[in-house]
Amino acid sequence: MARTTGKSGSGGNDVSGASTIWGGRFDAGPDAIMEEINASIEFDKRLANEDIAGSTAHVRMLAKQGIVGQADADAIADGLAAVKAEIAAGDFEFKRALEDIHMNVENRLAALIGAPAGRLHTARSRNDQVATDFKLWVRGAIDALDAGVKDLQAALIERAEAEAATVMPGFTHLQGAQPVTLGHYLLAYVEMLGRDRSRLADGRRRLNECPLGVAALAGTSFPIDRHMTAEALGFDRPTANSLDTVSDRDFALEFLSTATILAVHLSRFAEEMVIWCSQQFGFAQFTDAFSTGSSIMPQKRNPDAAELVRAKVGRIAGAFQGLVIVMKGLPLTYGKDMQEDKEAVFDAADNVALAVAATAGMVRDVKFNKDRMAADASRGFATATDLADWLVRVLGMPFRNAHHVTGSLVAMAEAKGCELEGLTLDDMREVDPAITEDVYSVLGVENSVTSRTSYGGTAPDNVRAQAKDARARFLG
Ligand code: ARG
C-alpha cells in the first residue's frame, strides 16, 4: 500500500474529521500515517467475542448497581448480541478510522440502538477493557492448546504401549550409547509435554484475575461491583491494584514463554524424525500422508512436516523476545506500546497449535523399521555397560576395575572386527580368567533392556507400567 501523509479516511469522524469517540477537544482528524500506525483493528478484531462478552458483563453489572437504567442496559445487551451475530456472519464492516475492536463494536452498537449505547462506557476505559479482552483470549488459547497437547500425549502413549518391547539404540552425543526400548523413548516426550501442560495450567491460574472496572488506571468513583463482573466472565477474582492491572502483560509473556518451551520440545521430536527418516538411519518412514516429494529428484520422500515443526520454534521464541522487549522499561501504567502485544501472541498461538496438531499427526502416521533399529542397537559394543555390571555383580569386582576390564574386551573385539558377543570365552579369559559362560546372558540387547528394571528405566515391563501411569496422570 502506498503511504502518503494527508487527511485520513472517514469512518468514525465528524464533519471536521475529528474522532466522534474522543474528538471533543480536537478540531481535525489524524494524518493518514498517524491513523495507520495507531490503528489495531486489522489484528485486534480477533478479540471481538471477548470484547462483547466483557461489555455484556459490564452493562449487566451497571444495571444491577443502579448506575444505568435496566431498560437501557437491556437495549445495550441485546444490541451487543446483534453485533456479535453480524460479526459471526461476516456482515460487519471493520473501520480503521475507529482504531480498534472496542470502538468498532461500540460505534456499531450506537448505530443499532442509538443513544443508550453511550452509557456502556461508564466506569471503564479501553485500558481495562483491552486487558480483559486479551486475558479472555489468552485463556481460551491456553485451554485449546492444553487439549491439543493432551491429544498428542494420547497418541504417544498409544504408540509407546505397542512398542514397549521394541529395542532401539539409545544415544548420548548422538552416538549409540545403550539399548533402550522405543516405548520408553516415546514416553520421554510424554513427560516433557506433561511439564508443558503444567506450565500452561500455572499461567492460567495466575492470569485468572479480572481487570474490568479498574478503568483508565485509578479505579472509578461509580459504585461498581467488580466481583460480579469477574464471576460472570469466569475469573477467580478481580485484580487487586488498578495501576498494575492496566500495565500488566505478564499473562501474555507467560503464555509465550510456555509456548516457546513447548515448541522447543516439539522441535526436538521433529529433529529425531528427520534423522530417523534419513536413508542413513532408516529407523522410520512417514506414509504419503505426511511426506512430500521433490520436483526434481523422483526418488525423494521428504519429512517436510517434521522440518516445519522443527522451524516453528523460531517465530514462537521470536514472539516472546519481541514482547519482552516491548515491556522492558515501560513506566506505569498503560502505554500504547502495549498494543504491540497482540500480533505476537496471535501468531505464536496459531503456530504452536498447528505444530502440536502436526506432531500428533506424525506420531500416528510414522512407521518404525524395527529390524533396522534392533540391528543398530547391537552395533558399537552397546552392551559394554551390561558386561561391566556383570563383572561387578557376578565376580564382585569394583566398578572402576570392571570398567577397565570391559574397555580391554572392547578393544579386543574392535581389533577382531566383531561385537562383544563375537568374542569366545577363551578370548575373554585372556583379559580376566574368572569370566564364565554366564557372561553371554547379558551381551544380547534383549537381555540388556529387560534387565533395566530400576524405577524409570527402560525395561519393557517398566514401560507398560509407565504408560499406564501416564494415562492416569495425563489423560484422566
Ligand atoms: N487498541 C488499544 C490496545 O490494544 C486499546 C487500548 C487503548 N487505550 C488507550 N488509552 N489508547 O492497547
Per-residue pLDDT tens digits for 268-315: 999 999 999 999 999 999 999 998 887 878 787 899 999 999 999 999
| Site to substitute for ligand 1 among 98, 100, 104, 137, most atoms within 8 A of C-beta | 100
The pLDDT score that the predictor gives to residue 396 is 96
The pLDDT score that the predictor gives to residue 22 is 67
281/272 Cα distance (integer angstroms): 10
For residue 334 and ligand 1, the question of a CB distance below 6 A is answered with yes
Segment 160-178, tens digit of pLDDT: 999 999 999 999 999 999 9
Give which of 194, 187, 158 is closest to 466, Cα–Cα: 187
Contact criterion met (CB below 8 Å) for 224 and 61: yes
| Neighbour tally for 236: CB within 10 Å | 11
For residue 41 and ligand 1, the question of a CB distance below 6 A is answered with no
449/438 Cα distance (integer angstroms): 17
Give which of 325, 125, 334 is closest to 248, Cα–Cα: 334
Cα(55) to ligand 1 centroid in Å equals: 15
Cell 519393557 belongs to: 460
Catalytic residues: 173, 294
197/184 Cα distance (integer angstroms): 20
For residue 432 and ligand 1, the question of a CB distance below 6 A is answered with no
Give which of 153, 134, 354 is closest to 253, Cα–Cα: 134
**DSSP secondary structure code for residue 7 in this structure:** B
The pLDDT score that the predictor gives to residue 10 is 46
The pLDDT score that the predictor gives to residue 2 is 47
For residue 13, what are the contacts with CB-CB under 8 A and spacing of at least 6? 19, 20, 23, 29, 97
432/387 Cα distance (integer angstroms): 12
Q: Looking at ligand 1, which residue's alpha carbon is closest to its atom 2? A: 339
Q: Looking at ligand 1, which residue's alpha carbon is closest to its atom 1? A: 100
| Neighbour tally for 392: CB within 10 Å | 16
For residue 40 and ligand 1, the question of a CB distance below 6 A is answered with yes
The pLDDT score that the predictor gives to residue 21 is 66
Three-state secondary structure call for residue 9:
coil
Residue 428: how many CA atoms within 13 Å on its side-chain side?
20
Cell 539404540 belongs to: 169
460/451 Cα distance (integer angstroms): 9
| Site to substitute for ligand 1 among 333, 339, 343, 345, most atoms within 8 A of C-beta | 339
Q: Strands 175-181 and 167-172: what pairing?
A: antiparallel
Contact criterion met (CB below 8 Å) for 294 and 350: no
**DSSP secondary structure code for residue 27 in this structure:** S
Length of the chain: 476
Q: Strands 175-181 and 237-238: what pairing?
A: unpaired
Give which of 235, 181, 193 is closest to 211, Cα–Cα: 235
Cα(127) to ligand 1 centroid in Å equals: 6
Cα(117) to ligand 1 centroid in Å equals: 20
Cell 474490568 belongs to: 212
For residue 130 and ligand 1, the question of a CB distance below 6 A is answered with yes
400/158 Cα distance (integer angstroms): 40
Interhelix angle 182-207/460-470, nearest 10 degrees: 20
Give which of 336, 396, 430, 359 is closest to 145, Cα–Cα: 359
pTM attached to this predicted model? 0.93
Q: Report the nearest atom of ligand 1 relative to the CA of 99.
A: 1
The amino acid that residue 192 corresponds to is M
Cα(341) to ligand 1 centroid in Å equals: 11
- Cα Rg, the chain, nearest whole Å: 31
For residue 277 and ligand 1, the question of a CB distance below 6 A is answered with no
For residue 138 and ligand 1, the question of a CB distance below 6 A is answered with no
Q: Looking at ligand 1, which residue's alpha carbon is closest to its atom 7? A: 126
The pLDDT score that the predictor gives to residue 389 is 94
At 117, list the grid cell: 449505547
122/64 Cα distance (integer angstroms): 14
For residue 128 and ligand 1, the question of a CB distance below 6 A is answered with no
For residue 246 and ligand 1, the question of a CB distance below 6 A is answered with no
Cα(38) to ligand 1 centroid in Å equals: 9
Q: Strands 209-210 and 175-181: what pairing?
A: unpaired
Cell 519482552 belongs to: 324
146/100 Cα distance (integer angstroms): 29
Q: Where are the alpha helices (DSSP H) in 277-379?
A: 304-327, 342-365, 370-377
For residue 96 and ligand 1, the question of a CB distance below 6 A is answered with no
For residue 91, what are the contacts with CB-CB under 8 A and spacing of at least 6? none
The amino acid that residue 453 corresponds to is T
Cα(336) to ligand 1 centroid in Å equals: 6
Q: Which residue ranges in the chain fall short of pLDDT 70?
A: 1-23
| Site to substitute for ligand 1 among 21, 336, 343, 346, most atoms within 8 A of C-beta | 336
Q: Strands 167-172 and 367-368: what pairing?
A: unpaired
